[in-house]
């Protein structure tokens, strides 16, 4: 199948600035018509991402401070706060309680609370949120600091339980799903299927691989196909629904 059968494609979480040629990665999204949310791992990276994205129809730049970098760069929350009024999209932010990052977990919680509180005050943000080994506490913090009327969260690579998925839905969250999530552990995926009305697609490129090389936004059609087979629908139908979900999400945060 070719990508033009599932139009529009949506890659709601991709690190375009981590490809060898950032400007070309942005230009390719534009040529191929893939709506791409270019996430950043530090606010210092946001201005250049914003500059490149601003000249496109299909790319948007999200303002992030990655939980895996909080140990060294937690102080950059000041710059993050300063830049926040200039963007509607926030990410990559969240929590990571994996063994390599657990030492900074208390600091991560402080930074994430500040991110959520600032977004709630602005009331017009859409966030892409990381929750490795921290699904419950991420939901607790969204409930406490950024309840549904104040913003919208897209849970990226979410691995919570079926009960946590229901809770996230009640909190207004969406889920961005990538091809690796759909192929790696089929039974688990089937047991915690995200409601299709809350699903977006992502690559998390260049951290995932397609055909033995780093995934690019256009490769997101593989996630569309994975969702189509999971739900017993055609890929074009799933692609249309994801495009509609993106529109709904954007309308929910005026
Ligand atoms: Mn990421």
182 pLDDT band (50/70/90 cuts)?
confident
Lowest mean pLDDT among 36-40, 63-67, 192-196: 192-196
What is the average pLDDT value for the chain, to the nearest integer? 94
C-alpha 6/C-alpha 103 separation (Å) is 43
Residue 90 Cα to ligand 1 middle (Å):
12
Write out the two tokens for 162: 């079926």
Residue 205 Cα to ligand 1 middle (Å):
7
Round the CA-based radius of gyration of the chain to a whole number and report it: 17
Residue 204 Cα to ligand 1 middle (Å):
5
As a whole-number percent, the residues of the chain with pLDDT over 90 amount to 89
C-alpha 41/C-alpha 16 separation (Å) is 11
C-alpha 99/C-alpha 184 separation (Å) is 21
Instruction: Report yes or no: 39 and 128 within 8 Å, Cβ to Cβ.
Output: yes
Full-model pTM? 0.95
Instruction: Report yes or no: 156 and 130 within 8 Å, Cβ to Cβ.
Output: yes
DSSP helix/strand/coil, 52: helix
C-alpha 10/C-alpha 24 separation (Å) is 18
Residue 65 Cα to ligand 1 middle (Å):
11
């Amino acid at each position: 199948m070719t990508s033009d059968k599932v139009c529009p494609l949506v890659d709601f979480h991709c690190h375009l600035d981590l490809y060898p040629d950032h400007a070309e990665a942005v230009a390719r999204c534009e040529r191929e018509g893939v709506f791409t949310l270019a996430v950043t791992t530090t606010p210092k990276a946001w201005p250049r991402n914003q500059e490149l994205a601003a000249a496109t129809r299909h790319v948007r730049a999200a303002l992030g401070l990655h939980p895996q970098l909080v140990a060294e760069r937690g102080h950059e929350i000041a710059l993050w706060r300063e830049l926040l009024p200039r963007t509607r999209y926030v990410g990559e932010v969240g929590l990571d309680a994996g063994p390599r990052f657990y030492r900074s977990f208390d600091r991560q919680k402080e930074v994430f609370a500040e991110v959520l509180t600032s977004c709630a005050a602005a009331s017009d943000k859409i966030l892409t949120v990381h929750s490795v080994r921290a699904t419950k506490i991420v939901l607790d913090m969204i409930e406490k600091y950024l309840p549904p009327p104040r913003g919208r969260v897209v849970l990226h690579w979410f691995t919570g339980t079926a009960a946590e998925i229901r809770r996230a839905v009640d909190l207004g969250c969406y889920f961005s799903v990538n091809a690796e999530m759909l192929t790696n552990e089929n039974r688990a995926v089937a047991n915690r299927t995200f409601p299709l009305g809350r699903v977006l697609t992502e690559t998390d490129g260049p951290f995932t691989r397609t055909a033995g090389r780093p995934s690019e936004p256009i490769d997101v059609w593989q996630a569309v196909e994975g969702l189509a087979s999971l739900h017993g629908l055609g890929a074009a139908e799933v692609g249309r629904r994801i495009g509609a979900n993106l529109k709904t999400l954007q309308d929910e945060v005026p």
